[in-house]
Chains A and B, each alone.
Chain A
Amino acid sequence: MKLNLSMSNSRKNFLSKIVLFILGFFILEFIIGSIFTYMHNYNLNSGFHTKLMWDDLYNKEDYSLDLVFSGSSHAMESFDPEIFDQALNIESFNLGTAAQKPQTGYYILQHVLQTQQPKLVVFEVYWAVMGTDYYPKQAVENMELIQDKSISKALFKDALSLKDQVLYQFKSYWYRGDISTFLKNIQGPVKSPYRYYKENGYVYSSTIFDSKDLKEHLARTGPIVMDPLNTEEGSQAYYLEKSIQLCQERNIEVLLVTSPLCPTYMQAVENYKETHETIQNIADKYQVEYLDYNIINEKEQLIKDENFRDRSHLNYSGVKIMNNHLINYLIENNYFT
């Protein structure tokens, strides 16, 4: 009996140690997590483009926007609202954020349409963010800045795997990448004259892309074959369709636009037609127009390699060319009469 009691005590002792160790872990996680959260917030307020976009958006008066652009960095760096506002005498805004997938874009749009009723929404359709690759960071960055908690929560649940939903609770893990950015940021804000957040969601760049390396690379690797776009339920194309439906339910006109990639790259793509047709089919399904500047550029040769900052993002010279072309299209088709 005595022996049994002592065994029980040792087991109790062991269990209490385990509980204490786990408790210690959570206390440390809370402390380190709080420090990392501080660093993360500091970084957000140190010129982070997504934060600046959301701040700008929340400063807009309700129902003041006429034109909204939605998409990834491809949108963020392709549409300068200032050009549209001056030419069309409207107020526009660019909701593009880095690597934003249509799934994230759908929730952002849902939130924006709570307080805005634009006449037109332009969806920038870029196949690179419509693949099946899992990239939760782009969803979390926006989720943290959306002020409507129910939409923010819905995005969190929809875009993140269960594993990442759990891991997100451990801030020492989730924000660990913020340390090096924080160490840079505390040395003072560094604003590059070549690339910076301008206003109304647009990120300006004046860097000129040197396509020499790309040409050499493509000469080595040969033609590029693109994977077919997935259009099944739950895919990114499916969320693009949901976004179009959301707009149409609210009598908002929709236009699909693909901002160009540099001609050197596009010339190497072997099967672009298939990707284009997949998007065109979505446009046809919802009876909306689709402007693919890769196709337009192939015919009209408006934009050259030097109008890009890298192989897939326009610099400001390219933005001006493409935006003016789009403005002419909008005028010709009486979008803002």
Chain B
Amino acid sequence: MLFNSIEYFVFLALVMVLYIAFKPRLRWILLLVASYAFYANWSISYCFLLLGTTVVTYLSALLISKTHGDIRRKKLYLAFCILANVGVLFLFKYFNFFNQSLGTLFQWLDIPYQVPDFKLLLPIGISYYIFQAISYIVDVYRGKMEPEKHFGIFALYLVFFPKLVAGPIERGHKLIPQFYEAKFSIAKAVSGFKLIGWGLFKKVVIADHLAIVVNTVYDNPQSFGSIPLLTATVFYAFQIYCDFSAYTDMAMGSARVMGFELTQNFQRPYYAKSIKEFWSRWHITLSSWLRDYVYIPLGGNRVRISRYYINILLTFLVSGLWHGANWTFVLWGGLHGTYQVVSHVTRNFRQKFTSFIGLSKFPRVHKLFKVAITFSLVCFAWIFFRANSINDGIYIATHLFSGISGFANPSYVISQLLTLGLNKIEYMVVFFSLLILEIVHLYQRNEEWKNRFANWPLPLRWAFYYLIIFMIIILGVYDSETQFIYVQF
């Protein structure tokens, strides 16, 4: 049941109506049943895996709280719980990847190696709920939060349907109290529905149109020259942003209609002025998870400089691997880690160079320059994230600018673009929608604008809402219910 399907909206409306009808103290039961039903709609058998993870993490946290200062036992319970969770993740998501990689390595070394792959379907949302379970147990271990005694509430924390399959990766201390305190309110429900509508717009009108071009080029890159390769790469940057932020908006909106607040995952990431800043704006809940549970335990920046660089690289390699069991993701993570290291190494030089050429005297131009460079680096890394193989990624990266002179001929550019699956009207739809996206970004950034919009006369505000609704209906891509990109992770 995808967020962009009619079935989901019927499901959400039903849950919402029942939620309002239920007594507040019993609402957790409804949400738990609804969340398991939501997951069972995809796979009933994997509900047991989810339940197993829940039981192990719940009991481990209770045992940790009862160790009464016995550090050894406390560590033992923590290690057991983390190993159990990571073990499940490894088995279902990474075993075949490592097995095949080892097979290739042994073959290269001419050593016989015959370990069969597991024929297991990747459980949807596993990376998200396992990371939530780990953050919960570590927070209990660190004393940052008390273990949740109520099994139903704890189970709901892991399985709460709006954020189950693609995040945001919620922390226990933030979400669990809401299951006791959250109140339904009309204002929140309206705000939630607006967010869902906005997410749907970004998904079906923008991301799914861009996906047509991206899929055409990236599924067969050797057939295209630099204009399609560059276009598809930039389009992919917007596609993945619109797709994933759409999912997050719809998840947040779905939670908000019932009175819950999930963590914001995006802060206009392509306005970042450095890669470091990009990571504080992109997939924020994953970045902060990696910071708190990987980077800081490795020593963070309070170590020797060489170790600091290694910590950065390791954290980003984990980030890459988290996205998928494929070397393309590892390379993507490695690239981002390398960007950060190089950025740190060259910091002084860049500052001096900026002063030398006089760019620092024009802060706005300087800022624009930094945003453009950051965006270009992010786009370059996305090539490997989206490419079907490392070879495809290398091909695209090395052919991006071969034949760039074609850009000087507008009619040639247009003729090239029209071979990528969209017609002129659809390109206009994409650009108009991206314009709306940027206007909304500006509006989100500026409090004054926000207030100004809120004070618009009702008919004008409604006209804007109707515009978005009918754009979704008329211009959305519905030929096949396209999957959200981050659901596969």
Q: What residues make up the interface of A, taking CB atoms closer than 8 Å to B?
A: 11, 14, 21, 24-25, 28, 32, 163, 167, 170, 172-173, 176, 179-180, 183
Select which of A21, A163, A176 is within 8 A of B462 by beta carbon: A21
CB closest chain-B residue, reference A163 = B6
Q: Assuming A14-B186, A24-B466, A28-B470, is B6 touching A176 (CB within 8 A)?
A: no
Contact indicator A176/B469 (Cβ below 8 Å):
no
Q: Assuming A14-B186, A163-B6, is B423 touching A180 (CB within 8 A)?
A: yes
Select which of B186, B462, B473 is within 8 A of A172 by beta carbon: B473
- CA–CA, A25 to B470, complex, Å? 9
Contact indicator A25/B474 (Cβ below 8 Å):
no
Select which of B462, B466, B473 is within 8 A of A173 by beta carbon: B473
Given contacts A24-B466, A32-B474, A180-B425, 10 further A-B contacts (CB under 8 A): A14-B186, A21-B465, A24-B462, A25-B466, A163-B6, A163-B7, A172-B473, A172-B474, A176-B474, A180-B423
Closest beta carbon of chain B to A140's beta carbon, Å:
15
Q: List 14 A-B contacts (CB under 8 A).
A: A11-B186, A14-B186, A21-B465, A24-B462, A24-B466, A25-B466, A28-B470, A32-B470, A32-B474, A167-B6, A173-B474, A176-B474, A176-B475, A179-B474
Contact indicator B466/A176 (Cβ below 8 Å):
no
CB closest chain-B residue, reference A15 = B186
- CA–CA, A11 to B462, complex, Å? 19
- Chain B residues 155-183 with CB under 8 Å of chain A are none
Contact indicator B473/A170 (Cβ below 8 Å):
yes
Closest beta carbon of chain A to B21's beta carbon, Å:
16
Closest beta carbon of chain B to A165's beta carbon, Å:
12
Q: Determine the chain A residues whose CB is within 8 A of the CB of B473 once the complex forms.
A: 170, 172-173, 176
- CA–CA, A251 to B417, complex, Å? 57
CB closest chain-B residue, reference A175 = B474
- CA–CA, A163 to B423, complex, Å? 29
- CA–CA, A142 to B470, complex, Å? 27
CB closest chain-A residue, reference B459 = A24
Q: Determine the chain B residues whose CB is within 8 A of the CB of A179 once the complex forms.
A: 425, 474
- CA–CA, A176 to B469, complex, Å? 14
Interface membership of chain B positions 394-432, coded 1 if the CB is closer than 8 angstroms to chain A and 0 otherwise: 000000000000000000000000000001010000000
Q: Determine the chain B residues whose CB is within 8 A of the CB of A163 once the complex forms.
A: 6-7
- CA–CA, A21 to B469, complex, Å? 12
Closest beta carbon of chain B to A61's beta carbon, Å:
41
Closest beta carbon of chain B to A22's beta carbon, Å:
11
- CA–CA, A167 to B478, complex, Å? 12
Contact indicator B466/A28 (Cβ below 8 Å):
yes
Q: Determine the chain B residues whose CB is within 8 A of the CB of A167 once the complex forms.
A: 6
CB closest chain-A residue, reference B425 = A180
Closest beta carbon of chain A to B436's beta carbon, Å:
18
- CA–CA, A21 to B465, complex, Å? 10
- CA–CA, A170 to B474, complex, Å? 10
- CA–CA, A24 to B475, complex, Å? 20
Which 4 pairs, one residue from A and one from B, show the smallest C-beta to C-beta distance?
A: A176-B474, A173-B473, A163-B6, A172-B473
CB closest chain-A residue, reference B465 = A21
Q: Determine the chain B residues whose CB is within 8 A of the CB of A173 once the complex forms.
A: 473-474
- CA–CA, A24 to B460, complex, Å? 13
- Chain B residues 451-478 with CB under 8 Å of chain A are 462, 465-466, 469-470, 473-475
Select which of A14, A25, A183 is within 8 A of B469 by beta carbon: A25
Q: Determine the chain B residues whose CB is within 8 A of the CB of A172 once the complex forms.
A: 470, 473-474
Closest beta carbon of chain A to B9's beta carbon, Å:
11
CB closest chain-B residue, reference A14 = B186
- CA–CA, A167 to B7, complex, Å? 13
CB closest chain-A residue, reference B474 = A176
- CA–CA, A163 to B1, complex, Å? 14
Q: Determine the chain A residues whose CB is within 8 A of the CB of B466 once the complex forms.
A: 24-25, 28
- CA–CA, A179 to B470, complex, Å? 14
Closest beta carbon of chain B to A144's beta carbon, Å:
20
CB closest chain-A residue, reference B5 = A163
Q: Determine the chain B residues whose CB is within 8 A of the CB of A176 once the complex forms.
A: 473-475
- CA–CA, A267 to B466, complex, Å? 54
Q: Determine the chain A residues whose CB is within 8 A of the CB of B425 once the complex forms.
A: 179-180, 183
Q: Determine the chain B residues whose CB is within 8 A of the CB of A11 once the complex forms.
A: 186
Interface centre among B7, B465, B469, B473 (most CB of A within 10 A): B473
- CA–CA, A183 to B469, complex, Å? 23
Q: Determine the chain A residues whose CB is within 8 A of the CB of B465 once the complex forms.
A: 21
- CA–CA, A45 to B370, complex, Å? 56
- CA–CA, A163 to B469, complex, Å? 19
- CA–CA, A32 to B473, complex, Å? 11
CB closest chain-A residue, reference B473 = A173
CB closest chain-A residue, reference B479 = A177
- CA–CA, A28 to B462, complex, Å? 12
- CA–CA, A14 to B185, complex, Å? 12
- CA–CA, A176 to B425, complex, Å? 13
Q: Determine the chain B residues whose CB is within 8 A of the CB of A25 once the complex forms.
A: 466, 469
Q: Determine the chain A residues whose CB is within 8 A of the CB of B474 once the complex forms.
A: 32, 172-173, 176, 179
- CA–CA, A21 to B463, complex, Å? 10
- CA–CA, A269 to B7, complex, Å? 38
- CA–CA, A176 to B474, complex, Å? 5
CB closest chain-B residue, reference A36 = B474
CB closest chain-B residue, reference A176 = B474
Q: Determine the chain B residues whose CB is within 8 A of the CB of A24 once the complex forms.
A: 462, 466
CB closest chain-B residue, reference A161 = B6
Q: Determine the chain B residues whose CB is within 8 A of the CB of A14 once the complex forms.
A: 186
Closest beta carbon of chain B to A36's beta carbon, Å:
8
- CA–CA, A163 to B7, complex, Å? 9
- CA–CA, A240 to B381, complex, Å? 53
- CA–CA, A21 to B190, complex, Å? 12
Q: Determine the chain B residues whose CB is within 8 A of the CB of A170 once the complex forms.
A: 473
